[in-house]
Each structure stands twice: as C-alpha cells, then as structure tokens.
Amino acid sequence: MKQSSRINVNLMKDYNKQLVLRTIQKHGPISRVEVANRIDLSRPSVSEIVSILIEEQWIEEKSSEVKVRGRQPIPLDINKEKKVIIGLEIGAYSTKVIVSNLKAEILNEIAIEMDVHKNPNEMIEYLGNQINLITERYKANQIEVLGIGVGMHGLVDTEKGENIFAPNLGWKNVQIKSILEKITQLKVLIDNDCNSAALAEMWFGQGKDESNFISVIVDYGVGASIINNGSIFKGSHHVTGQVGHITIDPDGPLCSCGNYGCLETLTSETAILKKVKRKLKIGEKSSILNQKDNIEDLTIDDFYIAVNKGDEFCINITHEVARNLGLGFTILINLFGPRFIVLGGSLTKISDALIPIIKEVIQLKVMGEEAKHTPIITSGLGDDLYTIGAASLIVEDIFSLPRPNK
Ligand SMILES: [Zn+2]
C-alpha cells in the first residue's frame, strides 16, 4: 500500500514536470503565472518544477521585453543552446541529416548520397559514423545530443525499429534502430515519413493548437497520417494512412503496389510527369515546351513553373490531379472527421491551383454540411518538413506526457 502510493507520488511529479515542460515548449515565452493558469497547478509547485528544469538546462529565463515600473513576470522559454536533436531523412537518392534545437531551428544540415548497390546494413553503419562526426562537435561544447529521429518512406515497424519495405530503395527488414544505436550510443526512434511529418505539423506547424487533424503528403508518393487526440493513430498491420493506395479507378495505371488505379498513380509527381509527356507527344500545346528542347528532358519543376505562370495545359492537368486528390480527401473526411487537412510535400508548390478544386470536390461529395467546409491548408514547413519531422519523433518522445502503460 505504502509503496504504491509512493509510486503514485513519483508518477505525479513526473507528470507535472512533463506538463510544465510541455507547456513552456508549446507556449513559451511564458511566465510562471501563465503556466500555472494554463495547467491548473499551484504557483509554488510550478516555481519548484521550473527551478529544476532550469538547473537541468531544459529551459531558461529570458529578459522581459516590456519595461514598466514594478515587478515584472520573467518569461520562460526552451533553452535553445544546450540540447539538440538529430533528424535523419532516409531518401531514395540522398539522405539528409539535420541538427535541430528543441524549437526546430536547424543548426546544421548535410546531405549524404545513397548508394543503392551498397548493402543496407553497411549504408546505415556509414550514416551512423557520419552522425558521430557531427555530434562530437556538439558534445565537445557541452551540448547534449538527445537522440536521433529517423523518417523514411514505405512500411516501418516503429516498435522493432526496422523498416518492413521501402520500395524506392528496395530495403526490407533493415534493423535501422539497433544498428544506429550501437554505433552512436544515442536513442533512436524511427517511423514512416508521413507520420513523422504529421508530428512536425503538430509540434511546429499548422497543427500546433489542434489535436485532431490529418496531414497528407503528396510528392513521389501519396500518404496520410491521422492525428487523433494529440497522437498518431497507428491502427494495426503498419498500413494506416496508405491513402495513396486507395483505388480511385480500377481501369487506371498499374501501381508499384501491384494494383491498378491507386490514387498515387493519378496524383504523384511521377504520374503527373508521365501524363504531361504523353499528352505533349501526341501534339498537345503548352508553354512548358519552351523550357526544354526535348520533351523527355522535362522535369516536375518545369511543370510547377508552368502552372504558376498560368499555362493552360498544365493547369488542366493540375485540376485533374486535384479532382482525384479531392476523392481521396473525401474518404479521409468521411472516415475521420478531422478539424482540417494539411497538405505537405512538393505539390504544395502549386497549392494555389490545387486547393480550390480539392475543396469543390469535398463540397460535392462529403457527408454533412459542416464537414463539407473542412479547411484544406498548406504546410508552412516547406522542404524541411521531412527532416523536422524526423527530429519531431524525439521531440514527441521528450515532451509527451507519461502514460501509465508506457
Ligand atoms: Zn498502389
């Protein structure tokens, strides 16, 4: 009896400490009084916890900006100098490594070329050694490296810390977590890049003040992640969020997954570029042809430029893509009723042309008057979405509240 109440006191203390830290992370700069009001904890308790957090270098006191007479509340914020995180985005062609502070400010960034012919284990070992070279510099300056977050495409087993299948690299069951942990001696967390991107939105992006929303990424593939009550809805079998493989047209193109007419085959960058080339080759006219001498040399960036210049041919293709995305979004809204959907990935470069049409489809097809007006917004994290997402896996681990069964 005595022992269990002791455990409860400790758990409560941990919980409150975590609650204070999380509140300062999300809402800093913030005074002790404001923290106490937000989380309904007594001011002396908040002050006591704040002293510990300052000593442990999680947070720091900032100087008050407003200068008036009398005693000023001292704003508290995350200590940006003393603790950093590594974010690793394993891509098909190159892997990006960032060092970020706890406010998702990128302090250092390098790109490492991927050798697809190399054994995946060797490749991960190589990445681990490169990370060691980076972290040594921080450690030498008494800066604590809190861990490595890894985001990658395909199916990922987060518990085992291995990838199940990454089609663009051909990797299967690579023990990424254990290899990296052995080499770097740091905590490693791995997840699918859609999930990690959704965490980036939740901690640092459009979802900062929301606990129920969906993040959809469209670039070389299409994927979604559902944030439900402030955490990722994981489901079973590691397939949750594979919205890119919902069948939109059973007579459509063959997909990398083996099915026909998946959303991805109609809306991914690869699909768009294929369609552009095919149509141009049968004589359709477009100003995009001014950008390259040969149709085969056209890139997806040429397409984005042409759309934003108002090229009719490219805008028509964008609208077709948007209509198909609208069908996918309709399914997501009808199933999960998110507060909003945030669109990330390269296609956000043409979101001004995409989003009005996606909204039209949603208005026509979604059930319920309120849900028909579900906001569709664009991610503000741009090209850093995946790397900040990877780092956010560690942020989530640090700042999430302790759960009894964890
Ligand atoms: Zn598919």
Distance between Cα 288 and ligand 1 center (Å): 29
- In the 8-state DSSP scheme, what is residue 383? G
Estimate the share of the chain in helix, then strand, then coil, as percent rounded to the nearest 5: 45, 20, 35
Residue 369 lies in a domain: yes
Greatest extent of the chain over all pairs of C-alpha atoms, in Å: 83
Distance between Cα 267 and ligand 1 center (Å): 12
**What CATH number does residue 134 fall under?**
3.30.420.40
Distance between Cα 33 and ligand 1 center (Å): 52
Distance between Cα 240 and ligand 1 center (Å): 14
Say whether both 71 and 102 belong to one domain. no
Distance between Cα 322 and ligand 1 center (Å): 18
Question: pLDDT tens, position by position, for the chain (406 residues)?
Answer: 455 555 566 667 788 999 999 999 988 899 999 999 999 999 999 999 999 999 999 999 998 766 666 667 899 999 998 999 999 999 878 899 999 999 999 999 999 988 878 899 999 999 999 999 999 999 999 999 999 999 998 889 999 999 998 878 889 999 999 999 999 999 999 999 999 999 999 999 999 889 999 999 999 889 999 999 989 998 888 888 889 999 999 999 999 888 999 999 999 999 999 999 999 999 999 999 999 989 999 999 999 999 999 999 999 999 999 999 999 999 999 999 999 999 999 999 999 999 999 999 999 999 999 999 999 999 999 999 999 999 999 999 998 877 654 4
pLDDT at 238: 81
Say whether both 42 and 161 belong to one domain. no
Distance between Cα 161 and ligand 1 center (Å): 24
- What range does the domain containing 65 cover? 2-78
Say whether both 264 and 325 belong to one domain. yes
Residue 404 lies in a domain: no
Residue 230 lies in a domain: yes
Q: Are 342 and 216 in contact (CB under 8 A)?
A: yes
**What CATH number does residue 18 fall under?**
1.10.10.10
Q: With left for phi above 0 and alpha for psi between -120 and 50, is residue 100 left, alpha or beta?
A: beta
Distance between Cα 238 and ligand 1 center (Å): 15
Say whether both 22 and 72 belong to one domain. yes
Say whether both 228 and 374 belong to one domain. yes
pLDDT at 1: 45
Say whether both 195 and 87 belong to one domain. yes
- For the sheet containing 106-113, what is the strand order? 106-113, 94-101, 83-90, 144-152, 188-192
- Domain end point (choices 59, 78, 97): 78
Distance between Cα 221 and ligand 1 center (Å): 10
pLDDT in tens, 128-143: 999 999 999 999 999 9
- Domain end point (choices 78, 104, 122): 78
Distance between Cα 253 and ligand 1 center (Å): 10
pLDDT in tens, 7-61: 566 667 788 999 999 999 988 899 999 999 999 999 999 999 999 999 999 999 9
Distance between Cα 261 and ligand 1 center (Å): 7
Distance between Cα 93 and ligand 1 center (Å): 21
Distance between Cα 325 and ligand 1 center (Å): 14
- Domain end point (choices 78, 95, 123): 78
Residue 44 lies in a domain: yes
Which ranges in 28-119 belong to alpha helices (H)? 32-39, 43-55
Say whether both 246 and 354 belong to one domain. yes
CB-neighbour burial class of residue 35 (10 A; exposed 0-12, middle 13-18, buried 19+): buried
Distance between Cα 117 and ligand 1 center (Å): 25
Number of domains forming the structure of the chain:
3
Say whether both 230 and 305 belong to one domain. yes
Residue 262 to residue 373: CA distance in whole angstroms: 25
Distance between Cα 7 and ligand 1 center (Å): 49
Distance between Cα 393 and ligand 1 center (Å): 27
Within 8 A by CB and 6+ apart from 182, the residues are 128
Distance between Cα 256 and ligand 1 center (Å): 6
Distance between Cα 257 and ligand 1 center (Å): 4
At 340, the amino acid letter reads: F
Distance between Cα 222 and ligand 1 center (Å): 10
The residue among 235, 236, 338, 350 whose CA lies nearest residue 304 is 350
Residue 405 lies in a domain: no
Say whether both 159 and 231 belong to one domain. no
Distance between Cα 183 and ligand 1 center (Å): 36
Residue 406 lies in a domain: no
Say whether both 331 and 187 belong to one domain. no
- For 264-330, the DSSP string reads HHHHSHHHHHHHHHHHHHTT---GGGGT-SSGGG--HHHHHHHHHTT-HHHHHHHHHHHHHHHHHHH
Q: Which two tokens stand for residue 202?
A: 């939740």
Residue 265 to residue 271: CA distance in whole angstroms: 6
Say whether both 374 and 314 belong to one domain. yes
Say whether both 153 and 281 belong to one domain. no
Residue 31 lies in a domain: yes
Residue 394 lies in a domain: yes
